[in-house]
Structure 1
Amino acid sequence: MYEAVNELMEEGKEIYGMKISEITAKAGIGKGTAYEYFDTKEELLGKAVFYQLHQGLCHMTEKALKQGSFREQIFAILDDMEQNFPKRQVLIRYLCYYVLGSEAAKKCGGEKSGGFLREGRLKETADCLLGQARKEGLLQKEPDFLAIETLLTQFMGFCFYLGNRQAAEISMGQMKEFVYENIVKIFEGNAQA
């Protein structure tokens, strides 16, 4: 059913407008089967969002774990986003849906970043990124969930650039540098607050 939600997203359907009957038809199962596993449509959609975020972000951040410095880690993620942008567009929509905290996200069981970063590869990636930033003195007092929100919002800004780069007046290299510098400035600003 999670994959059916993803396929509907790929077809351009907005998640908060999906119906159980559309999801189950796409999945090739009966509508009643969905309710054997989920109490509500919102529960199904919320779990589908977190599943897709987990899957997509695991692939996107795999190379980052092998890098030495925080800068190299961030650039590895940005490089992957650039190289795989066409197939990552649905992931971007999930991120936007999640980070913006819309009413629809709340209805679908949305929670703070820590909710889908408590275990597995995503937790390992977040721990690696934040640990390296702390080791380099870039991140000090900021709670993990705020640091993660900073990363996600900056990555979303980079995605916006990727989708509109024909109209952009700065190069890809300049934009990656801009994203990295923003992350560092936000980390520093929060440390001073």
Structure 2
Amino acid sequence: MDEQKLIHDPPQKVLALYQAVIEFINEGCDINTLKVADITGRAGIGKGTAYEYFSSKEEIISSAILYYVKVCFEKLQVISTDNRTFQQKINEVMDFIDEHVKEKQGVFFLIKMVLESYEIPKNLKDEYERMKQQCCDKEKNEIIDCIVEEGVREGLIREENVFLRRAAVETQLSVYFMYRIAAEKKIELDLEADFLREYVYQNLLKLLG
């Protein structure tokens, strides 16, 4: 089956595999030792069925995480297209980060994986990178562009270079994400969330105004 369809319109059996993977991740399972049989057993389907759709454990895990990211992107797309100001949209994205870090959802496992916070085998990282380029980068950029365009309409953003616009939004929101991860781990931080939210917003105005 086409990889894009497996991410964007997966059949029920594939959804069951994805749910099983996310459950294992959220339970803190070491995916290095996870087997295809573990995933299919949790999903309640035969091992042979999994291989009708995927060629390896790495492909199943990568697809599951990317599917979950796609679901999160759909929520972020609602934020980006909502009738809100630029500042409200940035704050709503940070609300989204708060909610999902607190719930320890799979999307943040993905981000940690990208940031190499986990010991992830190279073949899984390579598989993720290959599939991410095909399935997720376009959606991410569309969300950022839509949010930035609101800032342009309000006269807050004058930067015209698309790469710089996207880089500014990604890096500043990454700062807030790393702060929330550290706070969730009970690391002592000499910062308050409200201060950092304003810091992120003001930095965006400086970088793009």
Instruction: Give TM-score, length-normalised by structure 1.
Output: 0.74
1:109 aligns with 2:125: no
Q: Distance between the aligned counterparts of 1:145 and 1:104, measured in 2?
A: 28
Cα deviation for residue 98 of structure 1 reads 3.6
Q: Distance between the aligned counterparts of 1:123 and 1:19, measured in 2?
A: 34
Residue type of the partner of 1:66? D
Equivalent residue, structure 1, for 2:143: 125
Match of 2:109 among 93, 110, 124: 93
CA RMSD, 1 decimal: 3.4
Q: Distance between the aligned counterparts of 1:66 and 1:153, measured in 2?
A: 22
Match of 2:54 among 34, 38, 51: 38
Match of 1:13 among 1, 13, 29: 29
Equivalent residue, structure 2, for 1:47: 63
Match of 2:198 among 177, 180, 189: 177
Match of 2:177 among 133, 156, 169: 156
SS in 1 for 2:87: helix
Match of 1:81 among 92, 97, 121: 97
Which structure: larger Rg?
2
Q: Distance between the aligned counterparts of 2:151 and 2:22, measured in 1?
A: 33
Per-residue CA shift, 1:132-161, capped at 9, x if unaligned?
345532543142764564356334324324
Asked if structure 1 preserves the Cα contact closer than 8 Å seen for 2:94 and 2:173, the reply is no
Per-residue CA shift, 1:101-126, capped at 9, x if unaligned?
9735533332466740435xx56533
Asked if structure 1 preserves the Cα contact closer than 8 Å seen for 2:102 and 2:184, the reply is no
Cα 1:61–1:171 shift into 2, 3 Å: farther
Per-residue CA shift, 1:150-183, capped at 9, x if unaligned?
3563343243244146732222210212233444
Asked if structure 1 preserves the Cα contact closer than 8 Å seen for 2:77 and 2:143, the reply is yes
Residue type of the partner of 1:25? G
SS in 2 for 1:118: helix
Q: Which moved more, 1:107-116 or 1:73-82?
A: 107-116
Equivalent residue, structure 2, for 1:69: 85
Residue type of the partner of 1:156? F
Equivalent residue, structure 1, for 2:4: none
Q: Distance between the aligned counterparts of 2:53 and 2:105, measured in 1?
A: 28
Cα 1:113–1:78 shift into 2, 3 Å: farther
